[in-house]
Structure 1
Amino acid sequence: MKRKPTIHLANLLRSCIDKKAHRSGKILHAHTLRSGLFSDTFLSNRLIELYSKCNKADSAYHVFAKMPQKDVYSWNAILCCFCKAGDLRGARKVFEEMPERNVVSWNNLISALVRSGYQDQALDVYDVMMSEGFMPSYVTYASVLSACGAVLDVEFGRKCHCLTIKIGLDTNAYVSNGLLNLYSKCGLIADAIQVFGSMDEPNEVSFTAMVGGLAQMDRVLEALELFKLMCKNGIQIDSVSLSSVLGVCARDGYGEYDQNDSFLSNVHGQQIHGLLIKLGFERDVHLGNSLLDMYAKHGDMRSAEIIFSNLPELSIVSWNIMMDGYGQKCQSEKTIEYLRRMEHCGFEPDEVTYIHILAACVKSGDVATARQMFDSLSCPTLSSWNTILSGYSQHENHNEAIKLFREMQFQHVKPDRTTLAIILSSCAGMSLLEAGKQIHAASQKIALYPDTFVVSGLIGMYTKCGKTEMAERIFYRVPKLDIVCWNTMIAGFSQNSLNKEAFMLFKQMLLKRMVPTQFSYATVLSCCAKLSSSFQGRQVHAHTEKDGYVTDVVVGSALINMYCKCGDVYEARQFFKTMRVRNTVTWNEMIHGYAQNGHGNEALVLYQCMIESGEKPDGITFTSVLTGCSHSGMVDAGLEIFNSMQRDHGIGPELDHYTCIIDSLGRAGRFHEAEVLMDKMPYKDDPIIWEVLLSSCRVHANVSLAKRAAEELFQLDPENSAPYVLLANIYSSLGRWDEARTVRELMTDRQIVKDPGYSWTEDKDQDTRFYVG
C-alpha cells in the first residue's frame, strides 16, 4: 500500500525538478513529512535533486542532514548541489566524508574545479582517482582535457589521449571535442586536424573548436573554408559558432586594413554578417559585440558606428570595443569622446577602458595626455603601468620610462614579463648596463627568468651595451628558446660587428629546425652584405625562396642591399624588377647600390622613375642619388636635386646631403662654390665636411685650402690620423718634402697612429684577412 503513493510522489517531484517548480516542490516536501514518507531514501534523494535544480543549496543540505538513511546516490546528489553552487569548500568536505565513492563522485568534483578555474587542482584529483583504481568515463575526460587546454599542459593531455584510445573512449564525441580543444589551444594544429579527420560525425562543437584553432595559428583562410564546409554539411549554426567565425574575420583584418579601402578588405566579415541576419541572430547582444569588434579590427568605424547605434543593449564591452577601434586608428580624441559619452550614459569605466584610452593616446603620439590620464587613476593596475611604460619606451623617452618604473617599485606593484621587457628595452636604448643588470637580478628574484620574453629583452640589453659574451651566456643557458630569442642574438652579433658569428648562429638555428622569420632573413642578409660575401648571401637567398619570404618587401630590400654591397649590381637590379611590392626602402637600396658601385647615371634615372611612380623620397633617397652624382661627376644634376629637396619635397638638407654636394664640387675643382656653401650651411664645424674637402684638395693640388681644412680637422678631431696623412701626401706629390716631413713629425709628436688597412679573400664560408702594418 505504501509503495503506490511513494511512486506517485516521486513522479510529481520529477515534474517539479524538470520545471524548476520550487514552490510546488516545497508543498510536496511538506506532504512527504506529514505522510511519514520522509524516511524513504528515494524520495529524499528526489528532494535534494529538486532543491539543487532550483539553486537552493541550503534547503538541499537540510534534507540531506535529516535523512535517516543515505545511499551513494544521496551523497552524489548533495555533492553535485555544492559543485553546482560553486561552493568548493562544501563540496570538498562532502567528498572527504563520503563512505563510498564512485566515478560520478570524482567527475562531479573534477568538473566543479575546472568550472571554477582550478585546473591544476582538477588534474591532481584526476591523478588520485586513477591511483585508487577508478575507471574514468567520457565525462571525466571531457573535464580533464578541458583543464589541460586551459593550462596548456600538452604532455598531460597526450597521456590522457593515449588512455582514451586504450579504453576505447577516443571515438566519443565529448572526448574528441576535448582533444580538439586541447590541441588547438596548445597550437598543435596538425594534431587537432588529425583528431578532427578521425571523427565519424563532427558536430557544431567540433567545427567551432577547429575553426578557432586554425584562426589562432593565423590560418584564417583555412578556418573560413572549414566554416563554409560546416554550412554545406548542414551542421547547425548557433551563436557560438557565429561568434567564433566573426573572431576569425576580425583576426583577418587586425592591423592590416587599408584605411581607404576597409569596406573591400572585409568581404568575409560582411558575408558572415549577412548570414547572421538570415538566421535571426541580429538581436543577440553577444553577437552584436562580436560584429562590432570585427568591423573595428578592420578599421571600418563607419559600419561599427551603425552596429553600435542599433545594439539592443549596450554594455561596457561595447563601449570598450569602440574606444579600441578608434585607438587603433590613432584617433585619440574620438576615444576620449566615447569615454565621456559612456560616463554620461551611466557606465563606469573598467580596467580595459583605461588601457584602451592609454593605448590610443600612446599610438597617436600623445604620451602627455596618456600620462595625465594615468596620473588620474587612483589605483592603476599592472596593465595600465605597462601601457604607459610602453608609451615612453616606444617614443624613446627612456629616461622617463625608467623613472616611472622606479615609482612603480615604490608603489609595491609587482612587475610581470611585459614590464621587464619594456624596461630592458629602455635600458638598451640608453646603454644603461648597471640598470639592466639590476633588472636581470629582479627577473631572477621574481622567478621570471628564464621566461623567453624576458630572455629576449636581456639579450637585447646586453648586446646594445656591447656585452655579447654575457648575452651568449644567457642565450645558451635557456633550455627552450623561441624564434624571438634567436633573432635577438643574431641581431646582437650584427650590431657589434660580429657578422661572421651572426651567420654561424643563423646556420645553427636552421639545424635546430627553427623556422626563420622575415626579421631573421633581413638581419642575416645584412651580415652577408657587411662581409661582402655573395656566396653566403646566395645561400640565404635560396632559403628565402624555399620558405616563401622572397616576396616580402623587407627581405627583398635586404637582398638588394646584399647584392649591391657584394658588387653584383646586375643581380640586384634583376631581383628589383621582379618585386611586386616596393617601398621607399627598396628604392633607396637600389639607388644607393648604383651610386656605391659607380653607376651614377643609372642611380639618377632610377631616382626619376621613383618620383614618377608616386613613391615619396626621404632623406636617405637624396643621400643615395647625390652620392651617385658625386661619384660620376654629374655636379649640375646633383645641385639641381639638392635645391629641389626643400622646394619640391619639403625635406630640409642635413649633414649627409651637404657632404655629398661638397664632395661633388670638390671632385670637380669648384672650390669657390664649395666654400660659399660651407659658409652658409649649419654643419661647418663637422669634421666629415672638412675631411671630404681635404681629399678633393689632394686631387687638385689645392695646397692653401688643404692646409686650412687640415688645421680645422686638427682642432675638431685631434685623434684622427687622416688629415695628417692626406696633407703630408699632398706635399709629397708636389715635391715639397720638408713640409711633408714636418707634418709627419707633428703626427709623431702628438702620438697620432694611423690605423692599419686590411683586405680579405673569400673561399666559400672561409675568409682570410691580410693586415698592413
Structure 2
Amino acid sequence: MEMICKTVSKFYNRTELCHFEETCLRVLSFCNKKSLQEGVCIHSPIIKLGLHEDLYLSNNMLSLYAKCYGVEHAHHFFDEMPYKDVVSWTGILSAYVRNGNHEEALELYDLMMTSGQYPNEYTLSSVLRSCSAMGKFNDGTRIQACIIKCGFGSNPVLGSTLIDLYSKCYYTEEAYKIFTCMDNGDTVSWTTMITSFVEAQSWSRALRLYPRMIEAGVPPNEFTFVKLLAASSFLGLNYGKLVHAHVIMWGIELNLVLKTALVDMYSKCQRMEDVLKVSNQTPESDALLWTAIISGFAQNLKFREAVTAFREMEISGTRPNNFSFSGILNACSSSLSLELGEQVHSRVIMAGLEDDVSVGNALVDMYMRCSHMIEEALRVFRGITLPNVITWTSLISGFAEHGLEQDSFQAFVEMRASGVQPNSFTLSSILGACSKIESLSQTKKFHGYIIKTKADHDIVVGNALVDTYAGLGMVDDAWNVIDMMSHRDVITYTSLATRINQRGHHEMTLNIITHMYDDNVKMDGFSLASFLSASAGLATMGTGKQLHCYSVKSGLGSWISVANGLVDLYGKCGFINDAHRAFGEITEPDVVSWNGLIFGLASNGYISFALSAFEDMRLAGLTPDSVTFLLVLFACSHGGLVDLGLEYFQSMRETHDIRPQLDHYVCLVDLLGRAGRLEEAMVVIETMPFKPDALIYKTLLGACKLHGNIPLGEYMARQGLELDPSDPAFYVLLANMYYDSGQSDLGQRTRRMMRERGLRKNPGQSWMEIRNKVHLFSAGDRLHPQINEIHEKIESLITEFKNRGYLYQNNGDSSYHSEKLAVAFGLLNTPSMAPICIIKNIRICRDCHDFITLVTQLVDREIIVRDGNRFHSFKNGECSCRGYW
C-alpha cells in the first residue's frame, strides 16, 4: 500500500493513469473479498488523481467501508459521492440491513425513490428483508407492487424473500400462493416455503413439499434438511429416520448445523443413543451442538447424562454459552437438585453470565422449584436488569407452587406496571394460582382481563381457563369456554375430564369421549388414563374393556399412566386376575403401579397377597410412599392383622422417614376399632399431632356400634356432631347402636331428632351393567319395568332357603334393599354361568350380606358386590371378606 502511495506522483500521462485505475480496482476487489481494512489506503490517491468521480471505483470503496468500518463510515462516504447509481444505493442499503438497522434501511429506500433512481432486484430483496424483520407487512406489499411494476415478478430471489415476508407476518396461505405462482423456483425458494410451513407448525405440509421439490428437479441443500428434520421431530421417529436417510442418499456433508438438527430431532424422539451416534460421526463441535445434547438429556429425564455431557463440553475446550447454562439449569430444576443447581450458579458467575436474561430466567426457575425458600430466587430476579416475560412468568408460577398465591397476583400487577405484557404461559400460571386457592372471584377477574386483551383466542389460555373452571366445579362455565375456543386439542378435553373425574362425576367424564370424537380430537395417554379412572369409579366393565381395546390398537397401552389405569380398572371392578395380568405387562412398574395392585388385592379380600405385593415392591427397589402405607394399613384393618398393622405404622417414620398424615391415623383407629381395642383407638385420637375431624370420630363410632360400647359411642357422636352437625351418618350409626343393644326407644328418639333437623340418610342405591346399559336400583324401588318379576324371585329364593333348612331370618325392612333387587335382576337377566357384578354406594347391611351368601349356595354363580367400603366376592356360600367387614 505504501508503494502505491509513493508512486502516485510518477503517473503523468493518461496511459499510466488507466493502469493505476485498473490496479486500484484489483486491490479493492481483493480487499473486499478478504474484508481487509488496508484497502482504504487507496482512497487518498484516488482523490488526488481525480478518480473519485469514477462510479465503479466509488461503489467498490463504499462496499469496503461498509465491511470494514461499519455503516456510519460507509454512509459518510456515500454522502460525499458526487455520483450515485442503483448499485450505490443498494450497497449502502444492504449495509444497513446486514447491521440490523432496518428502520434506516427503509428510510434510505424512500430517499432513493425520490431521487429518481429505480431499484433493481437486489435493492428490492434487501428492503424486503427489513420489512420481514420488522413485521411491516403494509410496507412489504408496497415493495411487492414495485416488484411487479418493475417486471421482477418471476425473479426467484425476490419470490423467496416475499414468501419469507408473508410467512413472518403470519400469512402462510398467501405465501404458498406466491410460491405456487413461481415458474422457476430454486433451492432457496423451496427451502423458504418449507421453512414457512415449519414456522406455522404445519409439520405435515412441510414434509409433503419435499417430494414435490425432488419431482421438480430442484436439489435440496443442508438448510432444506435442517427444516425437514425440525418438522420430523414433531411427527415422529419414522419421519425423522426417513429424512436422515435422504441426507445420506444425497451425500450432504454433515456440517455442524445439520448435525445439530439431527441431534435435536433424535432428542425429541427420545432416541438418545442415536444422538450420541450422530454427534460422534464427525469431530467438529461447538456450543450449539453441546447445548442440544445437554438439553436432549434433560428433556428425556436423563439428568446424570446431562451433567456428564456438560462436563465433557468443558473438557473439550468448548466454552458454555448462556443457552448451555440454561439447559443444565433446566436439568437441575427437573431433577429437583438444589446442590447441583448452586454449583452451576457458581459457574455462571465465573463465566460472567449472571446478568444474562436467559440464564437468569433458568436460575429463578431452578431456585423456585428446588428450594423450600424463595429468597435466593428473589435475589436472582432482582439482579436481572431487564426481566422479560419469561422471568416474570417463572416468578409468578414459583410463588404459586410455594403456596404464595397472593404474591403471584401482586407480581402480575408489578409485571404489567413495568411495561412487560404477559404471554399465554403467564396467564396460564396465574389461572393455576386461582385454581389452587379455589377463588372464583379472582378467576372471573383474570378472565375479564383475558377477554379484554383478546388472549382468549390462544389455546394455552383457553385450556387453562377450562382447567380452572372445572377445578372449581363450574362445569357449565368450562364448557362455555370450550364452545368459545376457535379450536380444541387433547389437552382441552383431558383437563376437563381429569377435573370432573376428581369430583366423582364419572359418567359425565365418560361423556366427554363423544365430544372428542365429534371434534376429531384423538385421545392420548393422559386422557385415556382419565377415562379408565372414570370407568373404574363406575365399575363399568363394558366401557372399560372398550378403552382397553383402544389402548392396544392405538399403541397407548405402553404408556405407564394407561397401564396403571388398567390395573386400577380391573382391581376396582373385582377382576383381580385381569388386574394382575395388566400389572405383569408393565415393563418397569412405578409406585403408582404397585399401589394399584396392592389396593386391588386388599379391597378384593386377598389380604396376604396384598402384603406380599408390598414386600415384592420393596425388593424391587422402589420406595413406598404415603399412599402405599395407607393401603397397607387398609389391608391390615380389613384382614384383622392388628399387630402387623401397628408395626407398619411405626415403620413409616422410623424406617421410611414418612410422616403419617390424618388419613393414616383414621386407618389406625379403624384397625384398632375393628379388633375391639377401643380404648387404644381413643388414645390414638387424643395423642395424634392433628386436630380430629368428623371422619375419625365417625370411624370409632362405627367400631363402638360393632362392639356395643354405648358410652364411648355416645361420646364419639357428640364430638363428631360438634364438628359436622349436618352429617346424618352420626345419627344413623347412633340409632342403630341403640337398636342393637335393645334400646329401641333411644333409637327412635335419635331417628326423630334427625328428621326434625331436616336430615336424611343417604339412600342406598345399587347398579349393574348389562350389555353396555346401566340398571339402577334404589331401596324400595317400584319403578323398574321388571320389578314384579324381581320381587317374585326374591320371595322364591327365601322360600328355598326355608325348604333347605338354611338359617336365615327375613327382615321385612331389608327385603327390598337395592342390592337384593340387583341380585335378583342379575339372576333373571344374565347368562347362567356369568358372574354378577353389582356396585353399591354405601356399605352392605348384614341381612343382605347373609342373603347373598346363601344365594351362592343355591346357584353356582359368583356374585361380586363393591360397596362403599370394599369388595365382597360371594361364591359357594362364602364371602372374600370372611365376615370381617
- Where on the TM-score scale, by shorter chain, does this alignment land: which range? 0.7 to 0.9
**What does the per-residue CA deviation read over 1:490-538, in whole Å, with 9 as the maximum and x for residues that have no partner?**
2333344433332222221123222322221122222222222222222
Q: Provide the C-alpha distance between the structure 2 equivalents of 1:587 and 1:477, rounded to a whole number of angstroms.
A: 41
> How many residue pairs are counted as aligned between the two chains?
748
Match of 1:93 in 2: 110
Residues 747 and 572 of structure 1: is their aligned pair in 2 closer, same or farther, counting only changes over 3 Å? Answer: same
Q: Give the counterpart of 1:353 among 336, 359, 366.
A: 359
Residue in structure 2 matched with residue 404 of structure 1 by the alignment: 411
8 Å Cα contact 1:6/1:43 also seen in 2: no
2:131 — aligned with what? 113
Residue from 267, 277, 301 that aligns with 1:271: 277
Q: Which residue of 1 aligns with 2:164?
A: 146
Structure 2 residue aligned with 1:610, among 613, 617, 626?
Answer: 617
Deviation of the 1:309 alpha carbon: 4.7
Is the 1:13–1:28 Cα contact (8 Å) retained in structure 2? no
Residue in structure 1 matched with residue 593 of structure 2 by the alignment: 586
Percentage of identical aligned residues = 23
- Any idea what SS the aligned residue of 1:759 has? strand
Of 376-385 and 51-60, the range deviating more from structure 2: 51-60
Find the counterpart in structure 1 of residue 637 from structure 2. Answer: 630
Task: Quote the residue 1:212 is aligned against.
Answer: 230
Q: Deviations over 1:406-453 (max 9, x none)?
A: 444554543332222111111110011111111111222333222222
Please tell me whether the aligned partners of residues 6 and 37 of structure 1 are also in contact (alpha carbons under 8 angstroms): no
Matching residue's letter, 1:698:
K
What amino acid is the match of 1:360?
M
Structure 1 residue identity aligned to 2:202: L
**CA distances 1:455-510 after superposition (whole Å, capped 9, x unpaired):** 22222222222222222111101112233222222233334443333222222112
Residue in 2 that maps onto 1:261: none
- State the alpha-carbon separation in 2 of the partners of residues 285 and 702 from structure 1: 75
Task: Pick closer, same or farther for the CA change 1:751–1:542 going to 2, 3 Å.
Answer: same
Change (3 A) 1:685 1:320: closer
Shift of the 344–527 alpha-carbon distance from structure 1 to 2, 3 Å rule, reads closer
CA distance in 1, matches of 2:507, 2:141: 50
Which residue of the other structure, out of 383, 390, 394, is the alignment partner of 1:383? 390
Tell me, in whole angstroms, the C-alpha distance in 2 between the residues paired with 1:749 and 1:421: 48
Contact 1:152 1:182 in 2 (8 A): no
CA contact (8 A) 1:357 1:370 kept: yes
CA contact (8 A) 1:557 1:586 kept: yes
1:447 counterpart residue number: 454
Alpha-carbon distance in structure 1 between the residues aligned to 2:325 and 2:738 = 77
Q: Which residue does the alignment assign to 1:258?
A: none
CA distance in 1, matches of 2:749, 2:628: 43
* Alpha-carbon distance change, 447 to 715 in structure 1, aligned in 2, over 3 angstroms: closer
Q: Would the alpha carbon gap of residues 322 and 625 (structure 1) be closer, same or farther in structure 2, given more than 3 Å must change? A: closer
Quickly say closer, same or farther: Cα 1:129–1:499, change in 2 above 3 A: farther
CA distance in 2, matches of 1:82, 1:409: 34
TM-score by length of 2: 0.75
Q: Which residue in the other structure is 2:252 paired with?
A: 235
Which residue in 1 is equivalent to 2:435? 428
Match of 2:174 among 156, 167, 186: 156
2:494 alignment partner in structure 1: 487
Q: How large is the RMSD of aligned CA atoms in angstroms?
A: 3.8
Is the 1:29–1:47 contact (alpha carbons within 8 Å) kept by the matching residues of 2? no
Residue equivalent to 2:313: 307
Question: Secondary structure at 2:473's aligned position in 1?
Answer: coil
Structure-1-length-normalised TM-score = 0.85
> Greater CA deviation, 335-344 or 742-751?
335-344
The yes-or-no answer on 1:185 pairing with 2:185 is: no
Aligned to 1:257: none
Aligned to 2:802: none
Structure 2 Cα separation of the partners of residues 292 and 707 of structure 1: 65
Supply the AA of the counterpart residue of 1:93: D
Q: Is the 8 A contact 1:9 1:28 kept in 2?
A: no
Matched, 1:518 2:525: yes
Which letter does structure 2 place at the counterpart of 1:711?
A: R
| Counterpart Cα distance in 1 of 2:739 and 2:332 | 69
The SS at the match of 2:181 is helix
Corresponding residue of 2:264:
247
Aligned match of 2:730: 723
Q: Which moved more, 1:534-543 or 1:597-606?
A: 597-606
Q: State the 1:738 CA deviation.
A: 1.9
Segments of 5+ residues of structure 1 without an aligned counterpart are: 254-264
- Once the two structures are superposed, the pairs formed by residues 476-625 of structure 1 within 5 Å of their partners are 476-625=483-632
The one-letter amino acid of 2:31's match is K
How far, CA to CA, are the matches of 1:651 and 1:409 in structure 2?
42
- Give the Cα–Cα distance (whole angstroms) in 2 for the partners of residues 567 and 296 of structure 1: 40
Q: Distance in 2 between matches of 1:208 and 1:545?
A: 34
Instruction: Give 5+ residue unaligned stretches, structure 2.
Output: 1-12, 781-885
Q: Secondary structure at the match of 2:282?
A: helix
Look up the match of 2:875: none
CA distance in 2, matches of 1:512, 1:577: 35
Structure of larger gyration radius: 2
**Equivalent position SS for 1:550:** helix
SS across alignment from 2:766: strand
- 1:693 and 2:700 equivalent? yes
* Cα distance in 2 for residues equivalent to 1:385 and 1:227: 39
1:262 maps to what in 2?
Answer: none
Contact 1:185 1:213 (C-alpha < 8 Å) held by counterparts? no
Partners of 1:642 and 1:332 lie apart in 2 by 31
| Residues 24-63 of structure 1: per-residue CA shift (max 9 Å, x gap) | 577489659956894x766666666666666663266346
In structure 2, the residue corresponding to 1:109 is in which secondary structure? helix
